[in-house]
Amino acid sequence: MVKDLDINKIVKQHIEMEQFFTGFFLKCRSDTLETQNQEATMAVTEKTTELEKIAGEVHECRKCELGSLRTNTVPGEGNPNARIMFIGEAPGADEDAQGQPFVGRAGQLLDKIIGACGLKRSDVFICNILKCRPPDNRDPRAEEIISCLPYLQRQIEIIDPEIIVALGAHAARTLLNTTKPIGQLRGQFHEYYAGIGRPPVKLMATYHTAYLLRNYSPENRRRVWEDMKKVLAELGLPVPK
């Protein structure tokens, strides 16, 4: 006697075979893929528009004195759908001159780190806590951070990255609302509070590339590489050999 269970199994197999040969599954799958792609494309377009809107607001911004001292604003750039956002402190002289983040020596080292991770600059999003250069590269002031932070918070909300890499003490402390030293913060995942009703974003703190250039010891380089390997592991990405 054929058991109920077997009948169910046979019927299911039969339906699956019918569906397979009539192309039902294939049609279904490609419909789903097309829809997904359309949604993804729309999302990227919308994200790009929103990010451009923020860049426009930053361009007009005069909320702090840096607005009258800058040559160019540096809102940030990269993939609107990035899985990783690198966040530094503030633009330096090269960035101020070109209007792009991390294009000086510290930026070239960041490019190397991104490359060592098997990624391209265009895969990630790169920006700073401050969108304008503080004179003589002095540290950001509290009132400047308070004025500028909403732009970054909105960028994070739009991009919705899986991981934020905070480069250096200023970025890590600001985003984690702490005064702990970077030596204590780096090397482990923290949570960036992304707002009410939103899941927190994993944040890896590591040394700033400018610090690394000034203290280019094998030990410091190893530490940054260890931090980045944790990021890759968390994203399920292979560590390039």
Residue 50 — φ and ψ, nearest 5°?
-65, -40
Return the half-sphere exposure (C-beta side, CA atoms, 13 A cut-off) of residue 72. 15
Q: Which of 67, 80, 101, 140 binds ligand URA (CB under 6 A)?
A: 101
The amino acid occupying position 222 is: R
| Maximum separation of any 2 CA atoms in the chain, in Å | 88
Q: Is 87 in the site for ligand URA (CB under 6 A)?
A: no
For the CB of residue 94, give the shortest distance to ligand URA in the complex, in Å.
Answer: 7
Query: Of these, 66, 106, 132, 176, which contacts ligand URA (CB under 6 A)?
Result: 106
Q: Interface with ligand URA includes 128 (CB under 6 A)?
A: yes
Tell me the sheet residues that pair with 86: 126, 165
By CB under 6 A, residue 86 contacts ligand URA: no
User: For tokens 């789903």, what's the residue?
Assistant: 32
* 107 binds ligand URA per the rule CB under 6 A: yes
Helix axes 24-60, 142-159, angle to 10 degrees: 160
**Between β-strands 201-206 and 163-167, what pairing exists: parallel, antiparallel or unpaired?**
parallel
Is residue 102 near ligand URA by the rule CB under 6 A?
A: yes
Binding of residue 147 to ligand URA (CB under 6 A):
no
227 contributes a contact to ligand URA by CB under 6 A? no
* Interface pattern 190-219 for ligand URA (x via CB under 6 A): --------------------x---------
92 binds ligand URA (CB under 6 A): yes
Nearest to 129 by CA among 186, 169, 162: 169
Smallest distance from ligand URA to CB 100, Å: 8
Segment contacting ligand URA (CB under 6 A): 8-16, 44-52, 87-95, 157-165?
A: 87-95
Count of residues that bind ligand URA according to CB under 6 A: 13
Contact (CB, 8 A) for 178 and 223 = no
**What CA dihedral angle connects 54, 47, 106 and 224, to 10 degrees?**
130
> How far is residue 126's CA from residue 107's CA, in Å, rounded to a whole number?
10
Per CB under 6 A, residues contacting ligand URA are: 88-92, 95, 101-102, 104, 106-107, 128, 210
